[in-house]
Structure 1
Amino acid sequence: MSGNVFHGPAAFQVGDHNTLDVHHHSHHTHHTHRITPQAPLDVVADELARVVGAQWQEEAGLRRLLEPAPLPVRWRVSERKAAGRIGGATAEGARARFVAVPGVSQVTREQLRDGGGLGELHAVYGGLASGRLLLIGPPAAGKTAAAVLLLLDALAHRARIGAEDRVRVPVPVLLSLEGWDPGAESAVDWAAGRLTREYTLFHGRGGRERARRLLEAGRVSLFLDGLDEVTGRLRGAMVSALETAPFRLVLVSRAREAVLTAKKARLGGALALEIQAVRPADTAAYLLNRLPADPSPAWRALTGRLLDQPDEPVQPDRPDRPGSVLAAALANPLAVALLRDVYADDGPVDELLDAARFPTPTAVENHLLDHAVAAAYSPRPGLPRPRYSPETAERTLRFIAARLTQDGSRDLRWWHIPGWTGPGPRIIGVWLVATVVCGTPGVLLAWSLYPTRQTAVLSCFAAIWGGSDIARRHAALSVPQPLSSAGRRDIFTRGTIWAGITQWLFVGTMLCLCIPLVLSIPLLTDDAPPLWFWYVVTLPLGFSEVLVTGRGYQIVTGAPVLSVGSGRRYDSVRERHSSPAVVDSRSVGPRDVWRHHIGLRLFLGLLTGCALALYIGPILAWTQYPLVGAMFAVTAFLWTGAAAGLAGNLAVATALTAVQLHAEEGTPVRMMHFLEDARRRNLLRATGPVYQFRHARLQERLAVPRE
C-alpha cells in the first residue's frame, strides 16, 4: 500500500446466498471472480459421503472384497418376472424420472442386452431413468458383495466429479430393511430415522431434519439389503411404500422372493439384474493367484478340473458334465472364499473331487461350511495365536445361530442377549449382592441412630426390599429394549451444559436468600451455613439438569429428586437443548454402541449416585453430625448408583448374561470381545449397530444340530 491506494484484491459479500465477489485490480486489467461457498446441505452430503466411504472401505476389507482382487461380478437382465418391461426402466421416448448423474450417460436398451461387469453395473445405476434397480440371484450368488462394490464405485465416481456437478451425484448408503413397518412410517421417515441412528453426523438437534432434507432432495440413494429376509406380506408393503420414494433405489434380494413379491406388489420402472454364477475359469484363476508359483499336486488337480470345464456359468442345480459337481459348488463367491479359507496351500483339497463323498454341489458346500469356523480359528504361521479355541468358537457360534434362527432373525443385537437365557440366576445374584453391599451401610446407620431390635429388623427388611427392587430393574432388561445409542456429544451439548449451570446458580442463589428468612437465621451468624455451602449442595441439581435436557435422561429416571424432568413431557425442552457444538462424524457400529453403554452411560449412572450423596450428605452433616451425613451419603450413593448405573444399564445386563451363558453353554465370558473377533475373522459382519453372520447359509448350517 502506498499513497493510500490499495493494489491488492478487494472482497465483499452480496445477496442472500453468501456469494463472494473478489475483484483483482492491476494497471491494465480488472478481473472479477465469483466464488459461491457450499450450501449447508452440500456440506452435510459431502461429509456423509466421506463417512460412508470410510465405513464400507473398512467393512469391504474385512469381507475380503478388495485385497486380493475379488472374483469378477457379472450380470444380465433377468428373465424372471421380478420387474416390469425394460422400456419402463429406460424411459425411452418418455420423460425420465431421474436424469443421469454427471459423467454417466442415460442407459438404453442396447446397453443392457449383453449384460456386463462391475463397471457397466455402475453405468446402469447412474444412468437408469427410473432410478429403480433390483439386484437378484440365487442364495450365495454374491448379491450383497456386488452391492458393496457398486457403492464404493459410486462414491469414487462422486469424488472424481467437479464440485459444481457433485451436488447432482447422490451419496449411496447401504441399509438393511429389517425392522421397517411401512404401515407406521413412510420410506422417507424410516430412512431418516435409520440415518440418524447409524451416523453421528445426524445426531443432536435438527439431525433428523437434515437427513430428511437430503432424502427428499434426492441427495442420497439407498441400497436396501434383506428384502428376502422379511415376511411375504411385509415385503409387498415395503415395495409399495418405496414406489413414491424421491431418491434412487437399489434393492437386493434372492430371486425367488423377488418374483413372489412382484406377484403382489411391483416396483414401478424397476430393472431386475441377475448376478451370474462364477465361471469355472474365473474360479481357477482366483485360486491360482493366491497359491505359490508351483502349487501342490492337490491344488493342481482341483484347478485343472475347473479349467477343463467350458468357459460358461454352471447352473448349481443342474451339473450335467463330468467334474461339473465341483464347478457348480464353486459357482458362488461364498463357496470359493470358504474353499481358500478351509484348505491351506498344502491341504488335501483334492478330496473334493471324490464323487462318492461329495455327490452333489450341496454336499461340497456343506462340507466347506462345516469347517469354516475351525479354519478361521486355527493357528496360522506369522499370525498371533487365536484367543479362542476352534471348539469354543464353534460351540458359541452354533448357539448364537440356533438362537437367531429360533427368533426368526438374522440380526444379532447384543442388547437382546439378556433375553437368551432365564434371568433367575442373575436376579438372585443381583438381589443378594445389592442387599449385602448397598444395605449394610443403611443398617449400620439406623443402628447407630436408634440401637433397638425393632430398628435392626426394619432396616434389614428395608435392605432386602431395596435389593429386590434393584433385581427387578435388572430383570426388566431381559425383555427386548429399545437401544439408547446417544453419544457423548448428544448428552453434553452447549445447550445442556448452559441449562445445568443456569439451574445450579438459580437454585443455589434462591437458597442463599430464602433459607435464612424461613429459618429466621441471620446470614452472618455462626449458626448459618456459609454461602458456598448452598452452591455445593445444589450442584447435583445442575448435573441432573444436564442429563434430563440431553439424551441421558433415562439414566436418572427413578433417582430421588434428580429425576425431575426425565419424563416424556420434557421432550420439547430436550429437543431445544440437543444441538451438539461439534459433530463427531462417523458411522455407529456394534462396538461403538457397546463402549458407549459400558463406558459413558455406566459412569454417568454411578455419578448420579455421587450427586445424590453430595445433595443429602452435607445438609445432614451440617444440621446433625458429620458422621451421620457421611453414612447417609454412602447409603445414597450405593443405592442410587446401583439403580441408575448398574441395574438399568444394557451393557451390564449383557455382561452378566454372558457370565451365565459361560456357565450354562460354555460360551466366552467376554461375549462382545468374541463377537468382534469373529467379525475380524470374517465369520460375522456389521450392519449398523448389529452383527450378522457372514452369510445366511452359514447361519443356517450352524443352526443345524450336530449328528
Structure 2
Amino acid sequence: MNRAQRGAAGRAAAVLLVLCSVVVAVVLVRHADWDRASSTAALVGLPLVVAALCSPLLFGGSSPMPNDPDSLAGRLADAVAQQWAEEAEVRSIHDPYPLPVRLKPTDPRLFPAWTVLEQLGGATGGKRRTSGATRTGWARSHQDLLNGDQRLVSVFDRIPTRRLVVLGAPGSGKTTLVLQLVLDLLASRRDREPVPVIVAAAGWNPAEERFTDWLRQVLSRDYPFLTVSTEEGRSRFDVLLTAGKLLPVVDGLDEMAEGLRTSTLRKLNEYLRSPGRQIVVTCRTREFKHACRPLGREVTLSGAAGVGIRPLDGDVVADYLKSSSEGPVRAFDWLDVREALLRTPPTPIALALQTPLMASMAREIYNPVDPDLDADLPDPSELLDTKKFPDVTDLEAHLLDAYVQAAYRARSERSRRTVRMSAEQAERWLVNLAHHQQTRLSGAVDIRWWQFDQAVPHALRAFLGAFIGGIKVGASGRSQDPARGVGWLPGKFLWRFTYLVGFWLLMGAFTPLPLSLSVMAGISVGVVSGVVVATKGQPVELPTAASPTSVLATDRKVFWLLGVLFGLLSGALFGVALGLVGDVRAGVAFGLVAGLYAAAALGMGKAAWGWFAYARWWLFLHSRMPLRMIRFMRDAHRRGVLRQVGAVWQFRHIDLQRRLASRHADR
C-alpha cells in the first residue's frame, strides 16, 4: 500500500469513527434523563471530541514537492558563491592585491601513508573534478604534492581522496586561503560535484554531538532553505549529505579547547568512514601536532594529506607596503622599514610582518585606503623603535591595538556608509564585546546576537523567564534560538480547538457547570491553545545565505506578529468570556492582563528578539554597549574589525578578540 492509499484508508476510518460517535451520542440522549441543554451539549460535544482525535487522519496535509540532489546542490552552490564573493569584497583581500602565499610540505608522519590515500581514492572510483584529471593526475607522494601548480585548488585536485589539512602559523592566512579555495571550486564546479561550505570549528563540541548533527545545525542556520522537508520526510540537508554533495571546510581547529582537538579528529574520522566523503581542515601547525600525538598515542585524519604555509619573505612584504602607498612621497617613508625587512638576521619587524595578518594590518594603519585629507598619517618608521617595541610580541600587540584605532579613523569616501563615532568609544565597546565572548561564552568565536542575553545576570533572566513562562531560557540558562519564520498547522489547530470545545461541552452536560460558561470556556481556551500548538518555525525557501541582520529581521517579525495578534486574541476572548458570565469591568481588566501576558509568553517563547531587546537595554544602561548594537556591529563589519560567517559575526582574527579582551581589566 503506497502513501496515497494509506492516507485514503485513514480518512475512511476517521469518518467511520465520527459517525459511530454520533450514533453513541444519540443513544445516550435518548436513554438519559437530561434536560434539553445537556442533551444538546452531549450530542455536539462527543462527536467533536472524537473528530478532534481523528483529525490527524482527516487532515494529513499535502506533501512537499520532491527535490533531487543535483538541483539542490546547484541552489546551494549559488548561495555559497554569492555569500563568499561579497564577504571577500568586504575583507578587501584583493586590495591592492592578494599577498602571494606560498605553500610548503608538512611532516608526512602526521598523515596516513600515501598508498592509503590511493586505495581510498580508487575505492570511490577515482572520481575527479576535471575532465583530464584521472588517476594519472594524482600526486605520487606527500612530497610530490606541491610539484607543479601551487594554487590550493590544484593541490586539492591532486589528492586522491580530496581530503586536505592546511597548516600554518597564527595569522598566516589559512582562512583567506581556504576562502579563495571555495571560490575557485565553485567557479569551476560541475553539476555532480559537491558544494564546499565553510564552518567554524570553534562552534562544535565533539563530546556532545556528532559532526553530521552539528553540520546540519550550522548549515540550517546559514542556509535556512536546507531545512525544508522533501516528500520522503527528509530535510534537504540530509538529501545532500546522503548523495555526497557536501564538502565541509572546517576552519580553525586550533580555536577549539585544547582538550577537544584530538576527539575532534576522531569524530571527523567517523564522518569520513562513508566512502567518497571529502573535507578540508585548517589548523595552526603546533596545535595540530599536539592533537595528533595525545599522550604518546597517534591520531591521523583518515585519508588526508597536508600542506603548510611559508612565512612571507621580507622583499614581498616591502613591495606590498610600498605599492599600497598613496604616492611616491608616502612610499619614501617606507625606505627604512624596507631596509629592516631585508636585513639578516631577521629583525623584530621582519618577524612580526612575516604573516599576511600583520602585514595587512600594517598597510591599513599606515597606508589607509581612503584617509581624511586633513588628518596626519602615522609614520611607519616608528615600527623600528626598539625601545618602544623591544620584541615581536610588543610589535604585534601594537599593530592589533593601532588597527582598531585606524579602523575608526576619519574617512573621506566611506564616511557616508559608516557610523560616526570616536575611536575611543568604539574601542571601549569592542573591548566589552570581546570580554563577553571570552568570559561569558567561554572564548566562543561566533558572535550571535541571540546570545547577548547571557550578559544579563542569571537571577534576572530566571525571574523574567518564570514570570512569562519562558522556562527554557530563564531557568535553564540557555538562549532562545531565533525563529526562522511563522508556519501554520491547520490540522493541529483544528484538533486542539475541536477537542477543547467538545471537552467543555461534555463538562456542561455531565457536571453542574452552566452551559453558557462551558461554551465560552471551550471557545476561548480552544482558540488560544490551538494557536499555541499550531504556530511553528517555518523554513525559508529563498536559496540565499542568511546574515545576522536577516535572521534578526525575521525573528523580530515573528515576535511582533505572534505577540500582538496572540495578545489581542487572548485578551478579547478571555475578557468577553468573563464579561458575559460575570462583571463587565472585571472582564475588561482580566482581558487586558491576559492579553499582555499571552503576548509576552508566546512572543518570547517562539522568538529570540524579546530576550535580545531585554539584554540590549541592560548592556546600554550599564554602559557596556551602545543601544543600537546591531548597527554598531554592522558598522564594525564594514570597517573590517568584524567578519561575517553566515548568520554570525566574528572578530577579524581570534588574536584580535583575545587582545581586546585582555585589555578589559585596564578599563
Q: State TM-score, norm by structure 2.
A: 0.75
Residue 345 of structure 2 is matched in structure 1 by 320
Conserved? CA contact 1:90–1:108, under 8 Å:
no
Residue 680 of structure 1 is matched in structure 2 by 638
Secondary structure of the residue aligned to 2:97 is coil
Matched residue type, 1:197: R
Distance in 1 of aligned mates of 2:302 and 2:568: 59
The structural deviation recorded for 1:597 is 3.3
Secondary structure of the residue aligned to 2:541 is coil
Q: Could you say which structure has the greater relative contact order, defined with CA pairs below 8 angstroms and 6 or more residues apart? A: 2
Matched, 1:186 2:210: yes
Matched, 1:228 2:254: yes
Matched, 1:492 2:491: no
> CA-to-partner distance for each residue in 1:422-478, whole Å, 9 max, x for gaps?
3567889x7xxxxxxxxxxxxxxxxxxxxxxxxxxxxxxxxxxxxx95278599538
Residue 321 of structure 2 is matched in structure 1 by 287
> CA-to-partner distance for each residue in 1:245-278, whole Å, 9 max, x for gaps?
2320101101011111111411132111001222
Residue 237 of structure 2 is matched in structure 1 by 211
Secondary structure of the residue aligned to 1:296 is helix
Distance in 1 of aligned mates of 2:288 and 2:497: 59
Q: Which moved more, 1:70-79 or 1:147-156?
A: 70-79
Residue 415 of structure 1 is matched in structure 2 by 450
Distance in 1 of aligned mates of 2:521 and 2:77: 47
Matched, 1:545 2:519: no
Matched, 1:173 2:197: yes
Distance in 1 of aligned mates of 2:594 and 2:409: 51
Residue 591 of structure 1 is matched in structure 2 by 549
Aligned pairs for 1:370-389 within 5 A: 370-382=401-413, 383-384=415-416, 386-389=419-422
Cα 1:377–1:98, aligned 2, differ >3 Å: closer, same or farther?
Answer: farther
Q: State TM-score, norm by structure 1.
A: 0.71
Residue 19 of structure 2 is matched in structure 1 by none
Residue 125 of structure 1 is matched in structure 2 by 156
Residue 29 of structure 2 is matched in structure 1 by none
Conserved? CA contact 1:173–1:222, under 8 Å:
yes
Matched residue type, 1:156: A
Matched, 1:405 2:390: no
Distance in 2 of aligned mates of 1:648 and 1:226: 32
The structural deviation recorded for 1:55 is 1.7
Residue 261 of structure 1 is matched in structure 2 by 291
The structural deviation recorded for 1:97 is 7.1
Among residues 98, 105, 111, which one is paired with 1:70 in the alignment? Answer: 98
Secondary structure of the residue aligned to 1:691 is strand
Distance in 2 of aligned mates of 1:146 and 1:614: 59
Distance in 1 of aligned mates of 2:80 and 2:149: 19
Distance in 2 of aligned mates of 1:208 and 1:145: 34
Distance in 2 of aligned mates of 1:370 and 1:248: 39
Secondary structure of the residue aligned to 1:409 is coil
Matched residue type, 1:102: T
Conserved? CA contact 1:379–1:386, under 8 Å:
no
Cα 1:646–1:514, aligned 2, differ >3 Å: closer, same or farther?
Answer: closer
RMSD of aligned residue pairs (Cα, Å)? 3.9
The structural deviation recorded for 1:104 is 6.0
> CA-to-partner distance for each residue in 1:195-224, whole Å, 9 max, x for gaps?
223311122435864312322322111100
Residue 592 of structure 2 is matched in structure 1 by 634
Conserved? CA contact 2:431–2:661, under 8 Å:
yes
Residue 251 of structure 1 is matched in structure 2 by 281
Cα 1:378–1:208, aligned 2, differ >3 Å: closer, same or farther?
Answer: farther
The structural deviation recorded for 1:193 is 3.2
Matched, 1:156 2:187: yes
Among residues 329, 342, 348, which one is paired with 1:309 in the alignment? Answer: 342
> CA-to-partner distance for each residue in 1:606-651, whole Å, 9 max, x for gaps?
3322221132123334444654433332221123223333588643
Between structures 1 and 2, the one with greater helix share? 2
Distance in 1 of aligned mates of 2:313 and 2:246: 34
Matched residue type, 1:203: T
Among residues 208, 213, 221, which one is paired with 1:197 in the alignment? Answer: 221
Conserved? CA contact 1:477–1:650, under 8 Å:
no
Matched, 1:82 2:110: yes
Among residues 478, 492, 503, which one is paired with 1:481 in the alignment? Answer: 478
The structural deviation recorded for 1:43 is 1.2
Conserved? CA contact 2:483–2:607, under 8 Å:
no
Distance in 2 of aligned mates of 1:45 and 1:73: 30
The structural deviation recorded for 1:601 is 2.2
Matched, 1:240 2:271: no
Distance in 1 of aligned mates of 2:476 and 2:512: 50
Distance in 2 of aligned mates of 1:597 and 1:328: 47
Cα 1:609–1:78, aligned 2, differ >3 Å: closer, same or farther?
Answer: same
Distance in 2 of aligned mates of 1:480 and 1:52: 33
Distance in 1 of aligned mates of 2:446 and 2:636: 15
Conserved? CA contact 2:466–2:474, under 8 Å:
no
Cα 1:253–1:297, aligned 2, differ >3 Å: closer, same or farther?
Answer: closer
Distance in 2 of aligned mates of 1:539 and 1:326: 74
Matched, 1:394 2:394: no
Conserved? CA contact 2:323–2:331, under 8 Å:
no
Matched, 1:330 2:318: no
Residue 601 of structure 1 is matched in structure 2 by 559
Matched, 1:363 2:386: no
Matched residue type, 2:102: R
Secondary structure of the residue aligned to 1:387 is coil
Cα 1:338–1:214, aligned 2, differ >3 Å: closer, same or farther?
Answer: same
User: Which ranges in structure 1 are unaligned for 5 or more consecutive residues?
Assistant: 1-37, 311-318, 431-467, 523-527, 553-577
| Percentage identity across paired residues of the two chains | 28
Cα 1:95–1:659, aligned 2, differ >3 Å: closer, same or farther?
Answer: closer
Distance in 2 of aligned mates of 1:371 and 1:86: 46
Residue 58 of structure 2 is matched in structure 1 by none
Distance in 2 of aligned mates of 1:507 and 1:427: 31
The structural deviation recorded for 1:410 is 2.6
The structural deviation recorded for 1:658 is 3.0
Conserved? CA contact 1:288–1:303, under 8 Å:
no
Cα 1:593–1:481, aligned 2, differ >3 Å: closer, same or farther?
Answer: farther
Runs of 4+ deviating beyond 4 Å = 90-98, 116-119, 423-428, 471-476, 501-522, 534-544, 624-628, 646-649
Distance in 2 of aligned mates of 1:293 and 1:131: 45
Conserved? CA contact 2:468–2:600, under 8 Å:
no
Q: Which moved more, 1:335-344 or 1:345-354?
A: 345-354
Conserved? CA contact 1:500–1:543, under 8 Å:
no
Conserved? CA contact 1:74–1:117, under 8 Å:
no
